[in-house]
Amino acid sequence: MTLSYWNKQFQFSKLLPDFQNCLDGMQTRSENIADVLSLQRHAYGRHPRQWVELSGQPTRSNVLPVFIHGGYWRALEAKRHRFVLPPLKTLNGAVANVEYRLMPEVGLKDIVEDACAALQLLKQQTGCQLFPIGHSAGGHLAVMAARLLPDDVVGAMAISGLYELEPLHWSFLRDEIGLTTDSFEGCEPQKLWAGHDASHLVLAVGGNETAEFHRQAQVFAASRGAQVMQVPGAHHMSVLDDLAQTDGVLHEVLRELDPFKADRGL
């Protein structure tokens, strides 16, 4: 496979005509959410990006939904993704949002550690079990955390997530963030979950996502029992529009998962 092939799978800034409009729309829709939800920030480290923000108190559920943003581990911000938080809060009256350090300032292993540290802080703050919901690179981090923190994480949803990292090494990301085979050693869900049951994971993919994201979800789920679902008509960026709607297909699935369904007494 060539550099051109892999870039056509992963380089959405070039592939999607509405890419910048999506980013701008996310920013606009997120502007007032901090005030609306009275988000409270808590640091889990000394770096300016090592923080979580939390809204509300768990009501009918002891499971806290936690959003983890994407950006190929080297871009974007948690605050730009706040627009997905209000619908997630309806699951149990509380919601959290995770920020983390970025490559190339730190390595991928450091970012995985950030995600785990953020979730552990949220566990301490709330006493809840955790259900991370991540998009793209955030989906990778959610699935990693589910494996590394089995006592705290009761499930996860990865939306257009990444489970095999070697293909990314052959794309534009190799030079942009120095993504080498050494840098992602021990950070590949496909390998880390080998031989383990992943039936508590949901792997969501937009119907108009590139072929590689569909392939990775199917391959990961095949021998591990994870649930794979599609969001009809959605591409890599617009799939978040569905998460931002309580009547979207992603929320239909979330509401029927055992961590939330059981705690509602259903």
How far is it, in rounded angstroms, from Cα 126 to Cα 57?
8
Position 161 scores a pLDDT of 98
Q: Which helix (H) or strand (E) holds 206?
A: strand 201-206
User: If we measure between CA atoms, which residue out of 232, 56, 229, 261 comes closest to residue 158?
Assistant: 229
pLDDT the model gives residue 137? 98
CATH of domain 3-264: 3.40.50.1820
Structure tokens at 126: 């709330």
Neighbours of 46 (CB within 10 A): 6
Task: Indicate if the alpha-carbon torsion angle 10, 11, 12, 14 is positive or negative.
Answer: negative
Domain boundaries, the chain: 3-264
Q: Could you give the CA distance from residue 112 to residue 148 in angstroms, rounded to a whole number?
A: 10
Measured CA to CA, the distance from residue 77 to residue 20 in angstroms comes to 15
Contact (CB, 8 A) for 146 and 133? no
pLDDT at 59: 81
Q: State the pLDDT at residue 12.
A: 98
pLDDT along the chain (266 residues), means of 10: 95 97 98 98 99 91 94 98 98 96 96 99 96 99 98 98 96 89 91 96 98 98 96 98 98 92 52
**pLDDT for 265:** 47
- Please tell me the total number of residues recorded for the chain in this structure: 266
Cα(257)–Cα(253) distance, integer angstroms: 6
- The pLDDT score that the predictor gives to residue 266 is 44
